[in-house]
Structure 1
């Protein structure tokens, strides 16, 4: 089985803003990014398509796979940053609890939001459901955080290693090969 994880396209948000689960729209570059991805994926026949229900993923999934049933699942959403949603990262980091979270993000929850262990649990649950499908090629349209967690789970690598060394670009595709007999 191959899982094609597709990060949503660029968003209509100023750089440096934390948007997590805020339902932001896509940027003007959407059609150009979608066209490039569509060409990249044209030769693949997908058996199933999963997507985060957030608008930036929904739009991309529906435009890439117009003739497929798309499974929209909340477990594929980005981290819930709680009170920090739509604040500048610099402002978050300037707060004592923001700095503390950034130094300990692997264990602490965001302010009135979610922790990475909680996110890892929900993403792992959806991954286990998806990998049990009888499918050869599956597309997942999601967020950078979700794709990092999937890479961590699939490759059995610490998430901390991936935050430094693995940064999925907007409108990019990362492919994982899964041995269903493991």
Structure 2
């Protein structure tokens, strides 16, 4: 069975009360090393039959490079389709400073509204869907994505609901904790 591993980067070095979708910052180095060691142990039996892709943001690239240091034969390929949502001018702002009315406008039209004039969920779902199609066509039995919470949620939505657009009350999909992963069976 073909499996997609959705691995979330370690905790980024930013206040958790800030919007940081596409902001490019490092992750905690020690937590990244620990995540790489745990992932390496889990992937070791599969190493001959897997592909590793990662978001080009440094918090994901760090984990990919730490994993590659443990297993030099892994090839880590950056893929912009695995980027987190672009929150436009909300990036770096405290959620409280963005304002309830702006967040409510996004929630009312979750799929089509571009928060901060950045990227809409429809746009994000489209690019993640393209990457998911490529993962399904990939000849390897295991595809590993080092990515973000939003990408993990998009994959789960697409696997469960296809191209149907979510309403805000339906967007309750879990994401892996920092440095953790989930496995999704691909058909």
| Shorter-chain TM-score above 0.5 | yes
Per-residue deviation, 1:136? 0.7
Per-residue deviation, 1:31? 2.2
2:177 counterpart (154, 163, 169): 169
Please say if residues 60 and 141 of structure 1, whose CA atoms lie closer than 8 Å, have aligned partners that are also in contact: yes
Aligned residue number for residue 44 of structure 2: 42
CA distance in 2, matches of 1:62, 1:139: 14
SS at match of 2:97: helix
For structure 2, the 5+ residue unaligned runs are none
Please say if residues 93 and 102 of structure 1, whose CA atoms lie closer than 8 Å, have aligned partners that are also in contact: no
Q: Which has the higher helix share?
A: 2
Aligned residue number for residue 129 of structure 2: 124
Relative distance call for 1:76 and 1:26 in structure 2 (3 A) is same
SS at match of 1:164: coil
Aligned residue number for residue 5 of structure 2: 4
Aligned residue number for residue 52 of structure 1: 55
For structure 1, the 5+ residue unaligned runs are none
Q: Does 1:78 align with 2:84?
A: yes
Per-residue deviation, 1:106? 2.2
> When the two structures are superposed, what TM-score results if normalisation uses the length of structure 2?
0.86
Q: Does 1:64 align with 2:94?
A: no
Per-residue deviation, 1:40? 3.2
Q: Deviations over 1:90-134 (max 9, x none)?
A: 21134x323311343222111220000000011101111221111
Relative distance call for 1:171 and 1:93 in structure 2 (3 A) is same
CA distance in 1, matches of 2:120, 2:105: 13
C-alpha RMSD of matched pairs (Å): 2.0
SS at match of 2:10: coil
